[in-house]
Chain A
Amino acid sequence: MTVAEPQEEFGRLAALATTRASESLGSLLCDQIETKALNLYYLDSPERLLTRLRLPRRLITITQSINGREKGKISLAMARDGAPNLAAALIGRHGNHSRKLGGLDIDAFKETANIVTGSYLALLGPVLGLVGVPSIPAVVEGTLDEIALSLVPQTRALCVEAHLLAPSRNLELVVLMAAGRENKLQAEESAA
């Protein structure tokens, strides 16, 4: 895989966007959210994501597409096993959490993803040419092999991968922002 260091300023903005997303999640969950890891990398083909992304075996993803000057996708991913826990925290449900997810649970996931997407788009969207209104969130359950290709545009892509933790709830959420490479950063990289 070709991995080049994205621009320093982009890294600073990605870190700031991740902080904002953490604060937004913290506000929704009434909890402290920590950033466990923030990775920036380039993918020279969508398939490379399978070897790059570290996610649980079975997961749920909520993905939004953005078609501005460039094409991009932002996804929120979590382990399937942890999803009932997240739903309960969002909705304020107490007691034993059923493994089965209902309509309101899925709805809460979609809105959470919508809000996280907003945090990233506000800061990184203009830099990447992603300034369109995001699509309605799409929720998918499956294995990473099954889902991975739906998380990135079908081009070379610049990716921001953030792992967010709610330690008190034993929850880990992964944000993946993938933007098509035909953008300013590509030009800057070529010039560097």
Chain B
Amino acid sequence: MGLRVLVADDSLFIRDLIRHHLERLGFKVVGEAANGSQALSLFKTLRPDFVTLDIIMPQVDGIDALAAFRGMKGEDPEVPILIVSAVPFDKTRETFMNEGALDYVTKPFNKSSFEGIRRKLGALFAKAGKNSPTAELQPDDRRTQ
């Protein structure tokens, strides 16, 4: 069973793309959020193993992406959160990396962007003595290996 993932992005188009790439790499998307407030709420309910978070989303209930990020880290300091964003600035990247983000992927992304993340998660989970995050690959991936 793959890692359980929460995908937070205000764009359905991007959520579909992220889901596509993650599921082909063996992750299981258990929830999708369209804003920071919804992301935080779903995080508390679903307790995912891993989160992808866009940083430009409508602010709802006073919760923007950074507040959602901090809220999730407050609930579970160890949860890996991947920032997926079109914002190209080093300063923005540094802000989230200093807050403890797993990594910062700049849009547009492709399958290889997430393969690197899978490796990073594997190392992280091995260090913590947990099972491999994505034990099963999808059939298409097996054929191409």
Contacts and interface: CB of A to CB of B under 8 A. Distances in A.
A110 B11 contact: yes
Given A125-B89, A131-B91, A133-B92, 14 more contacts: A24-B107, A90-B13, A107-B11, A108-B11, A111-B11, A111-B13, A111-B14, A115-B86, A117-B86, A118-B86, A118-B87, A118-B106, A134-B56, A136-B58
A114 B88 contact: no
Interface of B: 10-14, 55-56, 58, 86-89, 91-92, 106-108, 110
6 contacts: A91-B13, A104-B12, A107-B12, A111-B11, A111-B13, A118-B87
Contacts of A117: 86
Nearest to A28: B108
A121 interface: yes
B56 A111 contact: no
A173 to B, nearest CB: 15
Contacts, number: 53
A27 interface: yes
A87 B29 CA distance: 25
B87 A133 contact: yes
Contacts of A136: 10, 56, 58
B56 A133 contact: yes
Interface of A: 24, 27-28, 90-91, 103-104, 107-108, 110-111, 114-115, 117-119, 121-122, 125, 131, 133-134, 136
A131 B11 contact: no
Nearest to B57: A136
Contacts of B56: 114, 133-134, 136
A163 B18 CA distance: 29
B115 to A, nearest CB: 16
A134 B107 CA distance: 14
B37 to A, nearest CB: 15
